Structures are given as C-alpha cells and as structure tokens.
Amino acid sequence: MTELRFNPLLRDWTMVASNRQKRPNLPKGDCPFCPGSGKVPDTYDVYAYNNDFPALSPTPPDPDPVATSLYQVAPAYGKCEVILYSPDHTTSLPELSVAHIRKLVDLWVERFESLSANPNHKYVFIFENRGPEVGVTMPHPHGQIYAYPYIPQKLRVELESCRHHHDETGRCLMCDINADEVRVGLRMLTETESFVSYIPFFTDYPYGAFISSKRHVSGITDFTDAERTDLARILKQVTAGMDALFDRSFPYMMVIHQRPVNGPDVNEYYHFHIEFYPPLQTKDRLKFLASSESGAWAPCNPTAVEATAPLLRAAIESRKAGTEE
C-alpha cells in the first residue's frame, strides 16, 4: 500500500509506503546496482535507476477507503529514483575524482529538468543517505531523488522565510547568510571560485555543513559549465574532509535545497544550497533526535559550532591537495 495522508495539525502530508518493508537490508551477496546484476547496464559511470520500492509512483494505486470529513487521503503520485554514483561497489562520493563527480552533477541536472517537466510534480528533492547510522540499507554508493506532488513543510517554511526577508530588506536571505559567515570567518570550512562552505551559526548538528553558491541562483540548472565543475570540486573537498576528521567513513544525510517546480517564481529571493546532517558528535558517539527535537521541533546542538568548525576545516585542508582532480 502507498498513499498520502494529510496531517491537519501540521498541514502537511505523510507518505505511507508499506511496500518499503520489503527492501533488502545490507545484502552481503549479489548487489542489484553492480554491473552484471541484470538490473543496470553492464557499463556505466553514473546512472539513474527507478526505485524498486518507491514511496511515490507515476501510477499509484487508489488510497485505502479510510478518509473521513477530517482526514484526507490522496494517491501517492510522484517519482522516486536512485542515482548510482559509480559501478564500484565499495567506493564513495569523496573517493571519486572531480571529473567523475562532475558527471554526477550533470545527471542531477538532467533528472531535475526531466522531472520538472511533469506539471504534477511540485518539488524535486535530490539527497543522499550515507552509512548505516542513518538507515542505509544498500551499501553501493548512491543517492536518491524524490519528485513530490506538494512542497514538504520544511522547504515551505524555508521558502516563506526567504520571501519575508526579501520583502523586508530587498535582499536574498542566503546571500546575507553567506556574507555574514565569510565576514565572521569562525565557522568557515572552505571556498572555491564559485561556492562557499561553512557550518552555519544556527545548525543543530555539530558538523552540519552547508555548501552555497556565491552567485545568486535558485536551481542547479542555472549553473554554468565552470560552476558545475566547481560544485563537484567542493563536494569532494567537504566530504573527504569529513572522512578525514575521525579517520573513518563519515555518515551523513545530504540534501539539495533549490526552487520548487511548476509553481510561483521564487528566483528573486530563493538561493541554491546544500545542507548536511551528520549524526556524529565524536568518532563513536551519535547525536540522537530525542523528545524535544522530535516532539517539539526544538533543535539542540550539543556543541558550539565555533568549536567544531575549526576541526572540520583542518580536516578538509589536510585532504585538499588530493581533492583537486
């Protein structure tokens, strides 16, 4: 069963996807994402693969007959894709070359454009879950894309905040955040010609890095050829630094925030950026979302980011010479 259920308390939709219980859990044998599996081409560099256990579908079944005058249900319309980073089963994003990650960026652009063309899609969300600590069930290097038929609440709030800031100041909120982080400097991680990375003042994760474009653009399709390569470069720098920080594979959730699709024009006030949510506090200690964070949405960072940013910045610098190509 897959369907959408409306939460009237939060005015947001919940995806119900009981089919995802059938997903393979960290298979030790044959991998469907490896060449030779019959599921993917025998040769590829990066590849978009339709999710075998989607929460959203272009042809969803009718919802169960459980709606009432209070509770709304809707078909779980949309698209879920898996984005394979490499045919190598044991590699990861920071281990790929800049040239290879550029191919991934190009695939993200192509899929964003394709999924945006469907007028029923309202938000195209590109993301990666890395590591069993965040629930990864397939170890082969990959990310995902969800095309939602609505704008999820967190993104909706962020869009409203950016619009409000622009209405009050005439400026882009993310442009102002970038400028403040660069000016203060304490939380900066690294920068390239076209992007900046920092752990923002307000993050609730000790190593919750952002990557933001210096130029004001609202979507990945707006980047020039040089900016796409530069995005690949800074992605490698930041993720390689994360691995270097504790000398281990660094788990994270990485999400790309950009403009919605098939709706009002937000280009004037919304700004492309990438957010990381890494659960590690130390090499072997996780940050859990407990009652206050989950029940009240009251974030709590156990460490001031002015203390953690220099550690991650030093780790990025230690690997930077090996992350240019």
> How are the residues of the chain apportioned to helix, strand and coil, as percentages rounded to the nearest 5?
30, 20, 45
Q: Rounded distance, CA 215 to CA 60, Å? A: 39
* Distance between CA atoms of residues 317 and 181, nearest Å: 18
Residue 142 known to be catalytic: yes
Q: How far is CA 140 from CA 24, 111, 143, 158, in A?
A: 12, 20, 10, 32
CB contact at 8 A, 106 and 229:
no
CA nearest to 5, candidates 72, 83, 77:
72
Question: Is the Cβ–Cβ distance between 28 and 140 less than 8 Å?
Answer: no
| Torsion sign, CA atoms 226, 231, 233, 234 | positive
Q: Which of 89, 100, 121, 142 is catalytic?
A: 142
* Nearest C-alpha neighbor of 223 from the set 196, 191, 195: 195
- The DSSP symbol for 12 reads E
Q: Where are the alpha helices (DSSP H) in 170-304?
A: 173-184, 225-245, 291-296
Task: Residue 233: name the closest of 198, 271, 192, 273 by CA.
Answer: 192
The one-letter code for the residue type at 73 is V
Which of 44, 116, 49, 42 shows the shortest CA–CA distance to 78? Answer: 116
* Axis-axis angle for helices 173-184, 153-169 (nearest 10): 80
- Dist CA 90 CA 295 (whole Å): 37
Residues carrying an active site annotation: 142
